[in-house]
A and B are shown apart, each in its own frame.
Chain A
Amino acid sequence: MPFNWDLVWSSFVPIVTGAVTGTIPLTLASFVLGLALALLVALMRLSRTAVVSGAARFYVSVIRGTPLLVQLFVIFYGLPSLGVKLDPWPSAIIAFSLNVGGYAAEVIRAAILSVPKGQWEAGHTIGMSKGQALRRIILPQAARVSVPPLSNTFISLVKDTSLASLILVTELFRNAQQIAAFSQEFMVLYLEAALVYWVICLALSTGQSALEKRLDRYVAH
């Protein structure tokens, strides 16, 4: 079977458009919201109040213990039966944010705990409140520790957004699927989609290295 190069070129534009208008904004929005949620959940997990840390623990357990696809379906196909009808995009962003929130919360919690206790004390001794010490002293140091694992979460998220095609979000993979169904050239289209995901992830890995380097400037080598 000759490789259909014409189809590769003609499908390139819709697939990349799907990445630019679907995959990438979906990833960014979900990651930013997910991180904010994760920070909140991490702080709740570290709370001394049992109810608060228990609630956070429960949330993390549910998110990590159920498939992302099922979470997506519960929100998009399940919620309407409770009278909550959400469009594909909001459904996808909610599901992915909640998912990132669960995984990243554990990363952030571990990163906060990795900062020596003496740093909190030094913050307190110069008069800082807990919140001030967290913001000015602890989180900047925790950020450095959490960049590699959070980059993992981020890169996984890029690929996981392909699941949104199953709740009708127009993104990279859904465009590839539609052209494949139409042209019956499944191998060509799915390899092409894979290649575009890979390129996006390569770019992110490069970004990760640069960020790590920047954050490492105050650490002995």
Chain B
Amino acid sequence: MSPTSQPGDRGVDKATRAAAPQARPVLSVRNLAKAFGSNVVLRDIDLDVRRGNVVALIGPSGSGKTTVLRSLNGLETPDAGTVTFADTATGTDLALDFSAKVSKKNVSDLRDRSAMVFQHYNLFPHMTVLENVIEGPVQVQKRKRAEAIADAEKLLARVGLSDKRDAYPFELSGGQQQRVGIVRALALKPQLLLFDEPTSALDPELVGEVLGVIQELAEEGWTMVIVTHELAFARQVADEVIFMDGGVVVERGPAAEVLRAPRQDRTRQFVRRLLHEF
């Protein structure tokens, strides 16, 4: 895999990017809040993601991390807060303020900038692998079918699924389905990849193949936000780890610091519990 072959890295490899003075973050979230009825799931969440960085959201279930992720893709509508995408190409930022009513156009623009990989894959069962991958590019982005197929075949080859292009999802293992899920997201050429517990539904022996693909994407310089319970994986790929509990950010920092030497008691307990689980 060539480290500069994908749109996510904008032709700059990770070392160069790290050395360069950091520009504005590509994604900024401020004061995000959300309640389902009387159940407050998010209070005052801030998040910055720089181009080429990987942010891991960790925390116990019910901590709100998935809701944050889903808000970034317009699958949840927060009650308050702002989400801003810096647009270096046009110079015009996309800014959504959820305190007011957000237009359909804005939500659709937000979705155009990111792509989601789901815990349960959510492949389209009535379409073959190839059809799943080209559906967005052809139907939504109106790209030429032949071009979309060529791209899809390249991406499928990268994740070792060339021979499955005409298979239906039910014919694939969970790990293969999730790799197709990742390819379907990549095919949209998003600025940001979102992963919602991408390995939680997998049999243990299939986790590795999916994490391997995600790690390669990280090395290539894709910008990603990952909700995960795989702490060892988070330590390996994430530039920043954010620990959430009870709808707030409890602790954030470089992966090694947060996971190896947490400052907060709650983080320490959580990390210890997960590591000692086995």
Hey, which bits of chain A sit against chain B, CB under 8 A? 116, 118-119, 121-122, 124-129, 132, 136-137, 140-141, 144, 217-220
Given contacts A128-B140, A141-B125, A218-B126, contact A118 B118 (CB under 8 A): yes
Given contacts A126-B115, A126-B184, A141-B126, contact A218 B170 (CB under 8 A): yes
B122 touches A132 (CB 8 A): no
B111 touches A127 (CB 8 A): yes
Chain A's closest residue to B188 (CB) is A126
For residue B108, which residues in chain A have a CB less than 8 angstroms away from its CB?
127, 129
Q: Which one of B115, B116, B120, B125 contacts A219 once the chains associate, using CB atoms below 8 Å?
A: B125
Give chain B nearest CB distance to A17 CB in angstroms: 41
Chain B's closest residue to A129 (CB) is B108
For residue B169, which residues in chain A have a CB less than 8 angstroms away from its CB?
218
> Which applies to chain A's interface (DSSP): helix, strand, loop or mixed?
helix
> Can you list 26 contacts pairing A with B, beta carbon distance less than 8 Å?
A118-B118, A119-B124, A121-B116, A121-B118, A121-B122, A122-B118, A122-B123, A124-B75, A125-B75, A125-B115, A125-B116, A126-B188, A127-B111, A127-B112, A127-B136, A128-B139, A128-B140, A129-B108, A136-B139, A141-B125, A144-B126, A218-B125, A218-B126, A218-B127, A218-B168, A218-B169
Answer whether residue B67 sits at the interface, using C-beta atoms and an 8 A cutoff.
no
Central interface residue in A121, A125, A129, A132, by most chain B CB within 10 Å: A125
Give chain B nearest CB distance to A218 CB in angstroms: 4
Cα-based distance from A20 to B139 in the complex (angstroms):
41
Cα-based distance from A212 to B168 in the complex (angstroms):
17
Cα-based distance from A133 to B22 in the complex (angstroms):
39
For residue A121, which residues in chain B have a CB less than 8 angstroms away from its CB?
75, 116, 118, 122
A119 touches B122 (CB 8 A): yes
Cα-based distance from A127 to B168 in the complex (angstroms):
22
Cα-based distance from A144 to B141 in the complex (angstroms):
28
Query: What is the 8 Å Cβ interface bit string for chain B, positions 221-250, against chain A (1 contact, 0 not)?
Result: 000000000000000000000000000000
For residue A140, which residues in chain B have a CB less than 8 angstroms away from its CB?
126
Answer whether residue B9 sits at the interface, using C-beta atoms and an 8 A cutoff.
no
A125 touches B111 (CB 8 A): yes
Central interface residue in A127, A128, A144, A219, by most chain B CB within 10 Å: A127
Cα-based distance from A126 to B170 in the complex (angstroms):
21
For residue A125, which residues in chain B have a CB less than 8 angstroms away from its CB?
73, 75, 111, 115-116, 118, 185
B168 touches A217 (CB 8 A): yes
Give chain B nearest CB distance to A219 CB in angstroms: 6
Answer whether residue B74 sits at the interface, using C-beta atoms and an 8 A cutoff.
yes
Give chain B nearest CB distance to A141 CB in angstroms: 6
Central interface residue in B75, B140, B141, by most chain A CB within 10 Å: B140
Give chain B nearest CB distance to A143 CB in angstroms: 9
B188 touches A127 (CB 8 A): yes
For residue A217, which residues in chain B have a CB less than 8 angstroms away from its CB?
168
Cα-based distance from A149 to B122 in the complex (angstroms):
26
For residue B74, which residues in chain A have a CB less than 8 angstroms away from its CB?
124
Chain A's closest residue to B170 (CB) is A220
Cα-based distance from A144 to B168 in the complex (angstroms):
15
For residue A127, which residues in chain B have a CB less than 8 angstroms away from its CB?
108, 111-112, 136, 140-141, 188
